[in-house]
């Protein structure tokens, strides 16, 4: 009963305080500031240690558990969401800190460049540079899990494509939370707008226009549902049943199956876009974090 009340409350908060601000007519400067403020309401466990690092030329946060096991070899490169135009490592600390603690791994979160100031493919270049930096530090590809949410999951799919094209050591797995992988918006518009407590079509349309700025939305680096997924690492896809990107997640899962990729799709009933940000406050979010942990451990 309490969990149902909390779920209803979080949805109401999203609808009242986030959804109206997330997208037009508000400027990205205002949206960025508002989401930084609202992120302070999320629970960041005190056991997480947060330090600033420079991954090549890219500013980043490193989130570590209070006591990292001596035999820990896994790390996570996490790419935050925000429709390619807003948010930062700070807005996603509640999620990345819980990942660090539950997975007993360091989590690196690059502060990649945002559109519209830095359109496609600037963010991809930054995320690839961050991955290459990890390799230069001596980490093996099979120690790295590449993870992200929403547009960040889109960047995960773009980054892994570049990794494969450059014949770099590939990460051991991909974690894709509420992935936005169709910049044409053709697939995901099959999901009714009103069902989503957070996202609006106008937000996605503006995000795609400001990110692509005339670039072809059919480019697999922009829309991974058109990508060649041959020999891709195992992937875990998580999505809520009440979000307009549900169709994207299903389409990506279908695409992975077409290329015989080891893929898992988990649809969380009554969940909204990137509900994992409520880890530590909502059991459903805790279960999703635990599923990510089990996935990472299973592909060691």
Q: Which pLDDT value is given to residue 70? A: 63
Q: Which residues contact 27 (CB under 8 A, 6 or more apart)?
A: none
Q: Which pLDDT value is given to residue 191? A: 62
CA distances from 180 to 83, 109, 158, 248 (A): 8, 18, 11, 6
CA distance linking residue 95 with residue 43, whole number of Å: 9
**Greater confidence, 202 or 122?**
122
Residues 224 and 164 sit within 8 Å (Cβ to Cβ)? no
What are the tens digits of pLDDT across the range 10-61? 999 999 999 999 999 999 999 999 999 999 989 999 999 999 999 999 999 9
Q: How confident is the model at residue 68 (pLDDT cuts 50, 70, 90)?
A: confident
Domains identified in the chain and CATH numbers: 2-298 (3.40.50.1820)
Q: Which residues contact 185 (CB under 8 A, 6 or more apart)?
A: 201, 204, 205, 208
Chain Cα centroid distance, residue 271: 16
Q: How confident is the model at residue 273 (pLDDT cuts 50, 70, 90)?
A: very high
**Facing residues of 148 across strands?**
79, 176
Nearest partner of 98 among 299, 300, 298, 275, judged by Cα: 275
What are the tens digits of pLDDT across the range 201-248? 899 999 999 999 999 999 999 999 999 999 999 999 999 999 999 999
What are the tens digits of pLDDT across the range 156-195? 999 999 999 999 999 999 999 999 999 999 865 666 667 8
Number of helices (H), then strands (E), in the chain: 8, 8
The residues annotated with a catalytic role in the active site are 150, 243, 273
Residue 115, SS3? coil
């Amino acid at each position: 009963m309490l969990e149902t009340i909390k779920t209803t409350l979080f949805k109401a908060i999203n609808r009242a305080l986030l959804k109206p601000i997330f997208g037009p007519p508000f400027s990205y400067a205002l949206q960025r500031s508002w989401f930084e403020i609202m992120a302070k309401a999320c629970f960041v466990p005190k056991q997480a240690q947060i330090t600033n690092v420079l991954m090549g030329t890219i500013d980043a946060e490193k989130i570590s558990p209070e006591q990292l096991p001596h035999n820990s070899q896994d790390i996570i490169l996490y790419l935050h969401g925000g429709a390619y135009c807003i948010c930062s490592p700070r807005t996603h600390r509640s999620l990345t800190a819980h990942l660090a603690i539950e997975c007993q791994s360091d989590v690196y979160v690059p502060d990649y460049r945002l559109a519209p100031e830095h359109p496609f493919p600037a963010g991809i270049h930054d995320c690839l540079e961050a991955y290459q930096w990890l390799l230069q530090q001596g980490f093996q590809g099979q120690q790295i899990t590449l993870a992200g949410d929403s547009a960040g999951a889109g960047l995960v799919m773009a980054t892994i494509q570049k990794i494969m094209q450059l014949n770099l050591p590939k990460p051991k797995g991909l974690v894709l939370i509420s992935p936005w992988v169709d910049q044409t918006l053709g697939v995901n518009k099959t999901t009714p707008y009103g069902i989503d407590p957070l996202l609006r079509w106008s937000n996605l349309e503006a995000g795609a226009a400001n990110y692509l700025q005339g670039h072809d939305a059919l480019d697999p680096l922009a829309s991974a549902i058109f990508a060649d997924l041959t020999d891709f690492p195992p992937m875990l896809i998580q999505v809520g049943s009440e979000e307009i990107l549900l169709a994207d997640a299903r389409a990506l899962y279908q695409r992975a199956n077409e290329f015989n990729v080891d893929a898992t799709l988990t649809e969380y009933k009554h969940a909204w876009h990137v509900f994992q940000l409520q880890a530590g406050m909502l059991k459903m979010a805790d279960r999703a974090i635990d599923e990510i942990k089990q996935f990472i451990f299973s592909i060691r």
